[in-house]
Copies of this chain bind each other. A is one copy, B any other.
Amino acid sequence: MLQGHQSWKFENRPVIKATATVVGPDEAMGPLVDDFDIVHGDLSLKQDSWEKAEKMLMEEAAKLAIENAGITKEDVQFYVGGDLMNQIISNGFAARTLSIPYIGIFGACSTSMEGLAISSMIVNSGSAKYAMAGTCSHNCTAEKQFRYPTEYGSQKPPTAQYTVTGAGAAVVSRHGKGPVVTGATIGRVVDMGIKDPFNMGAAMAPAAVDTITAHFRDFQREPGYYDLIVTGDLAKVGYDIASELLEKHKIPMHQTTYKDCGMMIYDYDKQSVQVQAGGSGCGCSATVTYGHIMKKLRKGELKRVLVVATGALHSPLSFQQGESIPCIAHAVAIESGEE
């Protein structure tokens, strides 16, 4: 049901019955490696194109999430999925394989929580027994599509982010055990005029702050309600800007722990030359949330988490035409389920 102006409170407590995550070799070198279900040692997944490899990441995560939930794909009534590819083809093709009624969504890297919010709303309202949310990204498909041909080997500034090769899926259920999705805040588009696609963290930070502010207003809460607030994927540059803006807005973030998925997934000491400011892509917040954070919620090491997934809604064409980068963030509250 509606909570405040732009938020939903899920009073029927939809449960994340199971999740699954799949990552590539770069993510396997990071500190969260043990939290992922499937780790691929090569970027191609033995496919003859990177696009097919990305689709396979999504299919593997979706199938494993369904298996982990102890159900069949026929039990899942709606699959809510999206990715960064033009015409979100990774999910279109994965939905063809899955043959589950499909709701295609796009919110750039915020797609992960957009999908979880919609799936939870569907289940909460009694519009499905089971719905599944999924997103994926692949470093090489994103480089090719958004930036330069990968073979070109172009150098990047330290503000740039590194697209995560990974996919995550979550089965949301009306009943059962597991972390509960208790609410969501749908973001507005915020654009502060930044035009540099190699500095998306700076572009997205104000959108994250806008949604966090709206979430606390709508739920009449303070950050201390949560053990952890995690943005995804601002990376180092965006995280610092968001922290500063939250302080300016007098949001008492000192009450909680504030982290960013783009900073959590890689090992800075060893990987910073490659990943620059940190991770990005639909797969980043999805794998960190459905892998790492979900495990901690299940173990009771975290009780209440707010995941604020951020997305840059530009295209290569809008950049070429001189437009700035419109950004958005969607927040989902996940609680351990122990009342």
A125 interface contact, C-beta 8 A: yes
Residue of A108, A191, A318 most packed against chain B (CB within 10 A): A318
CA distance A123 to B105 in the complex (A): 19
A 85-131 contacts with B by CB, 8 A:
85-89, 92-93, 95-96, 99-108, 114, 118, 121-122, 124-129
CB pair B114–A121 under 8 Å, yes or no, is no
A276 within 8 A of B: no
Partner of A82, one of B101, B106, B127: B106
**Chain B residues with Cβ under 8 A from A124's Cβ?**
125
B118, B127, B189, B190: the one contacting A2 at CB < 8 Å is B127
Of B5, B93, B121, B189, the contact of A122 (CB 8 Å cutoff) = B121
Most B CB contacts (10 A, CB to CB) among A92, A99, A107, A328 go to: A92
Chain B, Cβ-Cβ closest to A191: B96
Would you list which residues of chain A between 298 and 339 have a CB under 8 Å from chain B? 313-318, 321, 323, 326, 328
Given A6-B78, A106-B82, decide whether A92 and B313 contact each other with a Cβ distance below 8 A.
yes
**Are A186 and B106 touching (Cβ within 8 A)?**
no
| Cα(A87)–Cα(B85), bound, Å | 8
Give the distance in Å from the alpha carbon of A104 to the alpha carbon of B82 in the complex. 10
Q: CB distance A315 to B95 under 8 Å?
A: no
Inter-subunit contact B114/A103 (CB<8 Å): yes
Find out whether the CB atom of B1 lies under 8 angstroms from the CB atom of A125. Answer: yes
Whether the pair B317, A51 counts as a contact (CB closer than 8 A) is yes
**When the two chains form their complex, are residues A114 and B104 in contact, meaning their CB atoms are under 8 A apart?**
yes
A187 at the interface (CB under 8 A from B): yes
Q: A2 to chain B: which residues have CB within 8 Å?
A: 77, 126-129
By the criterion CB–CB under 8 Å, are B89 and A313 in contact? yes
Task: Chain B residues near A100: list those with CB within 8 A.
Answer: 188
Q: Which of B95, B118, B321 contacts A326 (CB 8 A)?
A: B95
The minimal Cβ–Cβ distance linking A123 to chain B, given in whole angstroms, is: 10
| Docked complex Cα distance between A1 and B128 (Å) | 8
> Given A101-B186, A102-B186, do A89 and B1 touch, yes or no (CB 8 Å)?
no
Q: Which chain B residue has the least Cβ–Cβ distance from A87?
A: B315
Nearest Cβ on chain B to A101's Cβ, whole angstroms: 4
In the complex, chain B residues whose CB is within 8 Å of the CB of A121: 121-122, 125, 127
- B-side contacts of A84, CB under 8 Å: 87
Q: Given the complex, which residues of B lie within 8 Å of A78, measured CB to CB? A: 6, 186
Chain B nearest Cβ from A102, distance in angstroms: 6
A103 to B189, CA, bound (A): 10
* Interface of A toward B, CB cutoff 8 Å: 1-2, 5-6, 8, 49, 51-52, 77-78, 82, 84-89, 92-93, 95-96, 99-108, 114, 118, 121-122, 124-129, 145, 186-191, 313-318, 321, 323, 326, 328
Other contacts beyond A5-B101, A87-B106, A93-B326: 18, CB < 8 A: A1-B125, A8-B127, A51-B317, A51-B318, A85-B315, A87-B318, A89-B317, A89-B318, A96-B189, A96-B190, A96-B191, A96-B326, A101-B188, A102-B188, A103-B105, A103-B114, A105-B105, A125-B126
